Amino acid sequence: MKVLVIGNGGREHAIAWRIAQSAQVSDVFVAPGNGGTALDPLLKNVAITNLDELAAFAKKEGIDLTVVGPEAPLAAGVVDLFREQGLAVFGPTKAAAQLESSKDFAKAFMVRHNIPTSAYATFTLPEEAHAYINEQGAPIVVKADGLAAGKGVVVAQTLQEAHDAVDAMLGDGSLGAAGARVVIEGFLAGEEASFIVMCDGKNVLPMATSQDHKRQLDNDQGPNTGGMGAYSPAPIVSDRLHERIMQEVIYPTIQGMEKDGITFTGFLYAGLMIDDGNDEERSIKVLEFNCRMGDPETQPIMMRLQGDYADTLLKAAQGKLDQASISWDPRTALGVVMASYNYPGTPRTGDVITGIPAAQKECVTFHAGSTLQDNQLLTSGGRVLCVTALGDTVQQARETAYATVKQIKFDGQQYRSDIAWRALK
């Protein structure tokens, strides 16, 4: 079986790495891939990003299954394009991907189908947005409606921060078309969890739970990032909460999309906020939907995934997820993101990376913003690596991951030293 993974991040490296371990897989292509996928002897980078060219490549190579990692090609309709050409692909259609590509679409959908989320309003005119903020008070959340590569959410602690975010997005056009419309929503307190399922249009298969660390600095300080580390499982998601999340969020979402005439296939990622209390009563609210796996959540999830994942993905693409099984290593997996100088601002690139040890059963370094040039690994993006380790305990996984992090060198490197602090509390 030949598989194509679309994307170039740590998520795609981890998915491709896991797929390549399947006995029935002969080739795994990653388009365009990164320095880590270039170095992995079981993976082959393909320097294509144009969607029509990717479909032509998949036809020419006889690709049996394509898995799409990031949101941008999904929002641009890569799944629709591949299906029109008779190619097996796992991901949501362009219409279904609106759950992520338009925050206004997602909020209206949740309200329509009674899926728990915070109150909101959507604006294109700055004066109306400012008036709403003054009426609601702070803290308050300002979100760009469209895809903004992790830069579209401002959790404003003060009215001034919220007004500044509106001025930047609606006034100055800081995020271009993505920020030409903003969703302003109520701030939610509690503990976040990432709850991701696979869906084939009818059947739903939950992935292991996880939690990421969105702030740049230790103790959840500093600006939001795409994610500075993650671990799985998320201890907050007890068996009872798992059941409630499926009943209160996941099934109503899949069924709601169907009622709206949109069949959902692909990964559905519900970013949740869970408040305090006992598991029967605590509120579970949706912060956001994504139509893909999380990054860096995927890296620890793939470390724990057991069995033939290529087979599971193929069955998912064929609408036979009810015939697939998935099991999880009971140990904890924990990933530490190593980022470039100045991330999450414009990252410096071109720094030489050294000291990455060979992958081991208990610790794998997944690459994201790295590139291989003349046999030298260089930084090429904000989040460069995600060092991911398994351990019998959270503490052990953490020690293994940080022992590897300390061996890896590149100028300007930054990472958090407290990944999984909540799980250790």
Residues that bind ligand GLY (CB under 6 A): 212, 226-227, 290, 294-295, 297
Helix, strand or coil, per DSSP, at residue 236: coil
Helix, strand or coil, per DSSP, at residue 381: coil
User: Min. distance of Cβ 295 from ligand GLY in angstroms?
Assistant: 5
User: Min. distance of Cβ 135 from ligand GLY in angstroms?
Assistant: 30
What is the Cα–Cα distance from 143 to 155, expressed in whole angstroms? Answer: 9
- Residue 53 CB coordination number (10 Å): 13
User: Min. distance of Cβ 210 from ligand GLY in angstroms?
Assistant: 9
Tokens at residue 172, please?
Answer: 């100055």
Kindly tell me which of 22 and 209 has the beta carbon lying closer to ligand GLY.
209
Kindly tell me which of 185 and 295 has the beta carbon lying closer to ligand GLY.
295
Name which of 80, 91, 85, 86 is nearest 6 in CA terms: 91
Tokens at residue 42, please?
Answer: 């079981």
Kindly tell me which of 181 and 214 has the beta carbon lying closer to ligand GLY.
214
Kindly tell me which of 227 and 266 has the beta carbon lying closer to ligand GLY.
227
Kindly tell me which of 16 and 377 has the beta carbon lying closer to ligand GLY.
16
User: Min. distance of Cβ 27 from ligand GLY in angstroms?
Assistant: 27
The CA-based angle 202-206-212, given to 5 degrees, is 135
User: Min. distance of Cβ 344 from ligand GLY in angstroms?
Assistant: 13
Kindly tell me which of 73 and 227 has the beta carbon lying closer to ligand GLY.
227
Peptide bond into 73 cis (omega under 30): no
Pairing of the two strands 65-68 and 2-7: parallel
What is the Cα–Cα distance from 108 to 198, expressed in whole angstroms? Answer: 23
Longest CA span, the chain:
60
User: Min. distance of Cβ 26 from ligand GLY in angstroms?
Assistant: 30
* Under 8 Å between Cβ of 259 and 190: no
Kindly tell me which of 22 and 290 has the beta carbon lying closer to ligand GLY.
290
User: Min. distance of Cβ 297 from ligand GLY in angstroms?
Assistant: 6
Name which of 407, 405, 403 is nearest 387 in CA terms: 405
